Amino acid sequence: MFRLDPEHTLRPVRTGDGAALARAYAADRAHLAPWEPARSEEFFTEEWQERDVHRTVAEAQTGRSIRFVVTAPDERIVGRMNLNGIVRGPFLSGDLGYWIAADSTRRGLATRAVAAVLRHARDSLGLHRVQAATLLHNAASQRVLAANGFTRIGIAPRYLEIAGEWQDHVLFQRLLDEGLMEPSGRP
């Protein structure tokens, strides 16, 4: 578990998180819709989320991914941080994705959570590189990445199907052998 500030923590997704994740996704459904794949009605149910939690925990045990939740003092989930597609061998890389609840944005929470995930990726997972992709017009997410030392590496046409359409993305990378920011937001 990582303390992000006096009110928020970052911890791995764990069995039993399905109900809280269902509530979080339902509460921010409109906020997340432009930035995520189109979701079925079933996605927003406790049952679907708990099944996904079990898959997530199993994938973490194999080292293929690790997914985190950002929690408020009342244990309400106010964000997700996902490190997917972890590749070992000479690549030692993973793909970062994240979201923060609408009522928790513009407070530096995403920046601090990404910093904590990067530190974990380097210190606990031994990764060399983390990649992230944003929609071309997602300036807020691009600011979070820039604050964490990511560099732009190019444009990927029709990279992901987001909001029901194949959309272009800006690709970023962060080499982890360079200095990392503390979760508090300080170098």
Is the pTM higher than 0.85? The answer reads yes
**Spatial distance between the Cα atoms of 72 and 64, rounded to a whole number of angstroms:** 27
Q: What is the pLDDT of residue 182?
A: 58
Q: What is the pLDDT of residue 172?
A: 98
pLDDT digit string, tens, across residues 37-54: 999 999 999 999 999 999
As given in the structure block, the two tokens for residue 28 are: 């921010």
Q: What is the pLDDT of residue 180?
A: 72
Burial (Cβ within 10 Å: 0-12, 13-18, ≥19) of residue 179 = exposed
Mean pLDDT in the chain? 94
> Which residue(s) pair with 171 in the sheet?
133, 154
Question: Is pLDDT at 101 greater than 90 in this prediction?
Answer: yes
pLDDT digit string, tens, across residues 12-26: 999 999 999 999 999
pLDDT digit string, tens, across residues 109-144: 999 999 999 999 999 999 999 999 999 999 999 999
DSSP 106: S
Q: What is the pLDDT of residue 1?
A: 87
Task: Give the rounded distance of the alpha carbon of 59 from its chain centre.
Answer: 15
Question: Is pLDDT at 95 greater than 70 in this prediction?
Answer: yes
The residue type at 46:
E
Question: Is pLDDT at 184 greater than 50 in this prediction?
Answer: no
> Rounded to 5 degrees, what are φ and ψ at 21?
-65, -40
**Spatial distance between the Cα atoms of 183 and 181, rounded to a whole number of angstroms:** 6
